[in-house]
Amino acid sequence: MRLMAITRGPDTPSTRFRFRQYLPQLQAAGVDVTERVARYGATAPPGTTLERLSWAARTVPHVVGAPLAARRYDRVLLQKPLLLLRRTLEPALPRGYVFDIDDALWVVDPRGVDGIARRAGTVLAGNAYLADHFSTVADRVEVVPTGVDLTRWRPAPRAERPTIVWSGGDRQYPDLARLAPALATVLRDRPDARLRIMSDLPPPADLGLPPAVVEFVRWSPAAEVAALNSAWVGIMPLQDSAWARGKCSYKMLLYMASAVPAVASPVGMNIEVQAAGPGSVLAGSRDEWIDAVGGLLDDPQASARFGSAARATVAAHYDAAVIGRRLATLLLA
């Protein structure tokens, strides 16, 4: 089968983790893959008006040509909408494409995103919450969680200092800021501890934590593994909302795959991951966060055992090799 995959950009998480890491399984199953990647990203980058206009001039031709190119293939995998996070030229794609989605994009474009799903032959939803929504508009919906490559995300010796790690994009800093009072208490009571932040941009000055206890690591594919797997505990705070419930808990899974215990808000798929097996703790209130994070820092041996259990949970339920084979089966069906 000849498949054209229309992906979001070279280094976007959805491209890397919901498509490219499955290429070995797809090829082994006989799927001949051509990727049509949005070279400059499918969402306008931050910057000046001139920079955004330059992005549009380079990106729009890619979008305009997609429907015509798609007709040369047996099947099309569309990863989120073609442009921005809204419907544009998707009605011109051959009906019956596979629509892969790992965010609650109906919050951004309710009628448009549902319309894209309605024309799809299959919707691949990253979690049950997304599947429940799209089952009301699409004929076939399959839950396909985002798998973790356990050969890449591996345990490593822990940092000498007790280290909490948070990983996320700059647009997620408000979630971290809401947790700052609890983190400030944890760090105040443990003077040797620190918070490691990995993101595309440095944290804002008003984050609410003393700079002396914050270590910033700029995200890159080369830096991301070591930034996570040497930590003592990983955190994933979320404010409960329709958008947050659509999240696929991937940062939580990466911590756990690296044998780093995770503490997360009881929102959306985080609850599913915690119920799948040991290795994570859900925390809602300020005191729950303080107790959970502080407890993991204070008992390194128990925390290390909990981290090993976390990796086993990911291996049992979210192994990329297994999920890649399932994706191949769904595409060939």
**Domain boundaries along the sequence of the chain:** 2-147+319-332, 163-317
pLDDT digits (tens, 9 = 90+) for 281-318: 999 999 999 999 999 999 999 999 999 999 999 999 99
Quote the DSSP letter at residue 170.
G
* Reported CATH class of domain 2-147+319-332: alpha beta
Q: Which residue has the tokens 């947790």?
A: 179
Q: Measuring CA to CA, how many Å separate 262 from each of 1, 229, 274?
A: 40, 12, 9
pLDDT digits (tens, 9 = 90+) for 86-102: 999 999 999 999 999 99
126 within 8 A of 144, measured Cβ to Cβ: yes
Q: How far is CA 96 from the centre of its chain?
A: 26
66 within 8 A of 90, measured Cβ to Cβ: no
Question: Could you tell me which of 119, 117, 108, 102 has the C-alpha nearest to residue 84?
Answer: 108
- What distance in Å separates the CA atoms of residue 214 and residue 212, rounded to the nearest whole number? 6
* Reported CATH class of domain 163-317: alpha beta
- Say yes or no: do domains 2-147+319-332 and 163-317 share a fold: yes
Of the pLDDT bands very low, low, confident and very high (cuts 50, 70, 90), residue 10 is: confident
Question: Could you tell me which of 31, 35, 27 has the C-alpha nearest to residue 4?
Answer: 35
pTM, rounded to two decimals: 0.94
The answer on pLDDT for 46 being more than 90 is no
